Amino acid sequence: MQRQKPFFKTSVYLLALLFVGFLFLPSEIFPKDTKKDIDFFHRVLRGESLGRIARQYLPLTEALSVDYLIEKIKELNGIQGSLIRPNQRLLIPLVRSTPVAAKSVPKQIDFEARGIYVNRFSMGCRKMRRLLDRLITFGGNTVILDAKDMSGRLFYPSKVPLAKEIGAISGPTIGNPAKLFHYLHKMGLHVGVRLVLFYDPLLATNRPELALRSIRSGDPCIEKGEVAWVDPSQSAVQRYNLDIAKELAEMGVDEIQFDYIRFPTMECTRETTYGLEEREIPKHQIITDFLARAHKELAPYKILLSIDVFGIIAWGRSEDTQIIGQKIEDLVQHCDVICPMIYPSHFYGPFQDMANPGAQPFLVVSETCRRFSSFLKDSEVTLRPWVQAFPFGTKSFNEKYIHEELRALAQSKARGWLFWSAGNAYDHAWKALALWNNTVAQIARVN
């Protein structure tokens, strides 16, 4: 038998290498996403588990968590339990050849956002998809996710050194935020993340030199039984939060929303000291200067910067400005969107001739929006309120309650809305949106 020539062998090897290379070409050469799964088989090695295999392929699938991908692999391969054997071939639902790299979707300042808040616990399960499907069904287009909540924990494994140092990244809900943002963008959603700034028990406890302190005792300020507030004037505190914000911007989020951008309101407020007190810098100047710094540093990312403020500050009372440091006419110079928290149940009566403001959603929302609009008349900043979608403080809470809030917003200069429910219970909100959509349709028919 005639022996194969070396040239022939070399050609075969080159063709094989080219074929393998073709399979793993960067995704930019092909459409970034496919509508059906790619059939890809993994041959199980000795000692491998489903968890290990799922972690290996997670970045190349649409799954947002290892647990969900394990379930999908088991479903595709008819696996009961978790037992797999060496050399077993497992079908893996790949959809990409390179990991997702999400990009922010720039919006105009007057973008009309209609959305809900989703906490970090809902993010890690199918509940988020159910909530967002309902939101989209009723005309919503925005989701605000917890990036750093009131516990001080982050929902993702941040690379910010201080976050690692204080344990803020322990037990992250989502391993790959960029993938989550990409997933939400595919749903057609505007993606914002909420950063709780100066209420941070983890930072205040682990770095006590950064905490607000009592003038009398020199000890960290205690609120609700815990050390929770950090000093907004401290450069390290500001830098920490800005580093997190910039990290998320680089991952492809569309909006950074600052919450608790203030000093505390509780009893400890009147007895606290902060770093710039010796220079007699008022609290509102500290808060405004931080926001100006944040606006400048985040500008290159072309994302929206929004802030959450108390609804009550629309009345411009000097005692509110002095205590919490939110001076609305100054803050609006350094952000794109202002989101007052207009929860009628939080306006304690008697207030503005209302014995029980919590039972007057239309009046409270209308008057608050009117007052905020007067501060914004010479500004391009968008007014986008948080509205009450929870039953606290009122016996009359139902879909009609929320419908009244929406009716008030429609007659104001607000542009868009955000529903707040700390536990993400939005059943009444969906019913309210159904009612509201019917109302809008009826008005359109009449006109």
What is the per-residue pLDDT for 334? 97
CB-count exposure of residue 189 (10 Å: 0-12, 13-18, 19+): buried
* Paired tokens of 153: 């924990």
* Paired tokens of 48: 């491998």
What is the per-residue pLDDT for 214? 73
What is the per-residue pLDDT for 270? 57
* Paired tokens of 441: 């349709």
What is the per-residue pLDDT for 33? 40
* Paired tokens of 387: 């509205």
- The structure tokens 């542009």 sit at 415
What is the per-residue pLDDT for 278? 53
* Paired tokens of 423: 């536990």
Q: Is 8 helix (H, G, I), strand (E, B) or coil?
A: helix
- The structure tokens 């939110």 sit at 326
What is the per-residue pLDDT for 175? 87
What is the per-residue pLDDT for 16? 47
Write the DSSP symbol of residue 444: H
Nearest to 129 by CA among 60, 189, 85, 196: 189
Asked if residues 213 and 273 have their Cβ atoms less than 8 Å apart, the reply is yes
Strand blocks (E) in 71-175: 89-94, 113-118, 142-148
What is the per-residue pLDDT for 276? 54
pTM of the model: 0.84
Q: Calculate the alpha carbon distances from 342 to 395, 405, 437, 439 in Å.
A: 18, 9, 22, 22
Chain mean position to CA 390? 19
- Residue 3 parent element (H or E): none
In the predicted model, residues of the chain with pLDDT beneath 50 are 1-4, 7-8, 10-12, 14-37
Q: Is 227 helix (H, G, I), strand (E, B) or coil?
A: strand
Cα–Cα dist 340/387, whole Å: 9
Dump pLDDT digits (tens) for 231-290.
999 999 999 999 999 999 999 999 999 999 999 986 555 556 666 555 578 999 999 999
Domains of the chain: 25-94 (3.10.350), 113-446 (3.20.20.80)
Cα–Cα dist 72/231, whole Å: 46
